[in-house]
Amino acid sequence: MARPFLLWRRNDWPNQEVVGVSYRTEAIRALFPRMLPNDARLECEADLVREPSNPHDRQAVAVVVRGVHIGYLPRDVAPNYQALLQHLEVSAFRAQVLCSLRASEWIETVYDRNDHERHQTVFHCRASICLAEPHLCVPVNRPPTTAHVVIPQGSAIQVLGEEHHLDAIAPHVRPEGETWVHATLHAFIDETKKSRPELIEVRIDDRRVGQLTPKMSSELLPVVRHLGASGHLAVVRALVQGNRLKAEVTLFVMRSHELTSEWLASLPAGAPGVALAPPIAAMSMAAVSIPPRPTVRFNPPRGWNVPEGWEPPPGWTPSPDLPMPPPGWKFWVLQ
């Protein structure tokens, strides 16, 4: 059975509208309570499900909330996510996104052909999801294999000194110019300073990529020490931006004082050596190991004279001059 994987994102803003919602209002209404308050909202998680057998669009991606099919990704957006979703399926994961449903309901007066008045209930709903660009939906490296806890995502913190560690950052640079990675935080004493302050060192795949300022270090040291006392590494989400000549690393993590009492109460008390998933429900799969890059390739039908290794860019559609592919043709296959 496929395990859910909440796609990574920069923030929780529902930026992508779900289409076709108006055709499924009866099923969607069941997701809300019987007595619907004004401007009702449902914040939840939704599954993204490919529909390669869809007779109208073989690249359709359905949006499903709690088993209810609420709509689709727009037709011009869905093709961009085919490789990513197939990659997760092959790896036994089910892609999930944060979803926001806004609904309203009212009584409307209508008249039949005999001019008889009657009243009917009208339900209206809009749905949108948090969906990053495909290359920013999964990290390109895996979390540590040793005991660790992922600190919940928060606002940005800039890492300092990356220019001295480009050899460690370069393997994670991508052509798109930015990508997510798992990073770890480590407390150390800065012996170069007379005051010998305790700071935070940032590592990617156990290689130093920089450090935090004294102020930012003080914001994270309490949680790093707390996790370290039980033998667990502190893992955070980090965004690598730039190229092999100049790159930056930015952490997206909650400061110690921002962590909720519920999160702190759910932290492990001991038992080092067991890799842990984050205790926050919305981040529950952030530490799951998945292959860092898709293991599929574009498979052009016979007669499509395209260069070997070529892949369609986002938004590309086949020219009418190209031969029709055979029924059920798989455009993406495992390498």
- Give the C-alpha distances (Å, rounded to integers) separating 240 from 51, 199, 266: 33, 21, 30
H helix runs in 91-235, sequence order: 166-169, 214-229
Of the candidates 212, 215, 213, which has an alpha carbon nearest to the alpha carbon of residue 184?
212
Up-side HSE of residue 294: CA atoms within 13 Å toward CB?
Answer: 19
Rounded to an integer, what distance in angstroms lies between the CA atom of residue 167 and that of residue 162? 10
State the pTM of this model. Answer: 0.75
Query: pLDDT tens digits for the chain (335 residues)?
Result: 788 999 999 888 999 999 999 999 999 999 999 888 878 999 999 999 999 999 999 999 999 999 999 999 999 999 999 999 998 998 889 999 999 999 998 888 877 777 778 888 889 999 999 999 999 999 989 889 899 999 999 999 999 999 999 999 999 998 889 999 999 999 999 888 888 889 999 999 999 999 999 999 999 999 999 999 989 999 999 999 999 889 999 999 999 999 999 999 888 765 443 333 332 222 333 334 444 455 557 788 888 877 777 777 655 667 777 788 887 777 776 55
Rounded to an integer, what distance in angstroms lies between the CA atom of residue 327 and that of residue 268? 52
The residues facing 178 across adjacent strands are 241
Rounded to an integer, what distance in angstroms lies between the CA atom of residue 237 and that of residue 156? 10
Cβ-Cβ contacts under 8 Å for 67 (sequence gap 6 or more): none
For 59-126, give the DSSP string.
TEEEEEETTEEEEE--TTTGGGGHHHHHHHHHTTEEEEEEEEEEEEEEEEEEE-TT--EEEEEEEEEE
How many residues can be counted in the chain?
335
Rounded to an integer, what distance in angstroms lies between the CA atom of residue 141 and that of residue 178? 13
* Ranges of each domain in the chain: 3-134, 139-283, 297-335
Rounded to an integer, what distance in angstroms lies between the CA atom of residue 129 and that of residue 73? 9
Around Cβ 187, how many Cβ atoms within 10 Å? 15
For 40-52, give the DSSP string.
EEEEEEEEEEEET
Instruction: Determine the pLDDT at residue 334.
Output: 55
Q: Is the sign of the CA dihedral 267, 150, 14, 97 positive or negative?
A: negative
SS3 298: strand
**Paired tokens of 44:** 């939840």
